[in-house]
Amino acid sequence: MRIIFGKVIRMDIRNLETLLAVVRHGSFSDAGKSLGLSRSGVSIRIAALEEEFGQPLFDRSTRPPRLTREGQFVLDQAREMLAVWGRMKRHEKSPEESGLFKLGAVQTVTSGILPFALKRFRDAFPRVRVTIRTGLADELDAMVRVGELDAAVQPLSGNIHAGLTWQTICVEPLMVVAPAGLSGKRDVDLLNGLPFIRYRRIAWGLGRTIQRELAERGIEVSILAEVDSFDAAMNLVRNGLGVTVLPLRRMPDPFPDGVRHIAFGNPPLVRTLGVLWRENVAPSGFVRGLCAALEDSAAEFCPEADTA
């Protein structure tokens, strides 16, 4: 129970989790998929929150709807309350748990959200030793299936193999990233303004997604370079040599000074990040703790464009 907006609230923790899911995943529909609810089920929970607080949490006159000032306040409080709730649930078991947790991750995650999540995980599981192996999504998927890894943090790249479990952590919108001085209001304006820096299409699922969108829209780009890391692409952009497409990662300052970004795709495309593990084989307590730590970190670094 909590007193807020001058009234007594008897809080349903699931409604707060639903609010965070909407913000994390970018829409009521995607939040429902992550929670196993229909879109109407998500709407019912959000409406219940709004009734409890006596305030609209979303401005529904915009498309997509955006958080109101009251909604942002409730979101901030919900994050604190759910963090406390998560610590309460983990308190009794986690300090005594120990062992080895073999984790895989794609490179963009190890340089993005993962370090922040692992700090939270270590606080909850101080006696667990974590090893990290980086690789491409397809490689990590195979290593999880044969037991070389307990779990992998990676983008969703297709159907989940039988015997594996997937939990979505967050959705990251794809952005055309260009030098700050390049003019244009649409993604195609930026893409046509300078040569394009692309990923190796075979190795990167993200690269294949970008190439397919360009082809379907008939956008012809002049290739400056083909790279296999975010840092390489970003350095070329910062120096005014070209444009690229990158996900808006959940981390502090995902894009440096000197660049601008516009949503990529029609409709805008996203990258879905999550955790993959073997059913009934991976150390479930560790996996649950990792998912919770990743979700908390994703919520902390939620981009403004993803709050609808």
User: Which tens digit of pLDDT belongs to each residue from 182-191?
Assistant: 999 999 999 9
* Domains 97-170+271-304 and 172-270 equal at CATH topology level: yes
3-state secondary structure of 64: coil
Query: Average pLDDT, stretch 119-127?
Result: 92
Q: Which pLDDT belongs to residue 302?
A: 62
pLDDT band with cut points at 50, 70 and 90 for residue 6: very low
Q: 11 with 19: CB under 8 angstroms?
A: no
Which range, of 63-72, 112-121, 153-162, averages the lowest pLDDT? Answer: 63-72
Domain ranges of the chain: 2-91, 97-170+271-304, 172-270
Q: Could you tell me where the DSSP H helices lie in the chain?
A: 13-25, 28-35, 39-53, 69-91, 107-110, 114-124, 137-146, 187-193, 205-216, 230-238, 284-300
pLDDT of 94 reads: 47
Segment 213-235 shows an average pLDDT of 91
Quick check: 169 pLDDT over 50? yes
Token pair for residue 135?
């690789």
Please measure the distance between the N-terminal and C-terminal CA atoms of the chain and give it in whole angstroms: 27
Class of domain 97-170+271-304: alpha beta
Average pLDDT over residues 72-87: 79
Q: Which CATH number is associated with domain 2-91?
A: 1.10.10.10
What pLDDT sits at residue 5?
Answer: 42
Residue 231, pLDDT score: 86
pLDDT in tens, 49-69: 888 888 889 887 776 668 898
- Rounded to an integer, the average pLDDT of 34-45 is 84
Question: Is the entire prediction scored with pTM above 0.75?
Answer: no
Q: Which CATH architecture has domain 172-270?
A: 3-Layer(aba) Sandwich (3.40)
Give the residue-averaged pLDDT of 287-294. Answer: 93
Q: What does the pLDDT read at residue 9?
A: 44
pLDDT at 217 over 90: yes
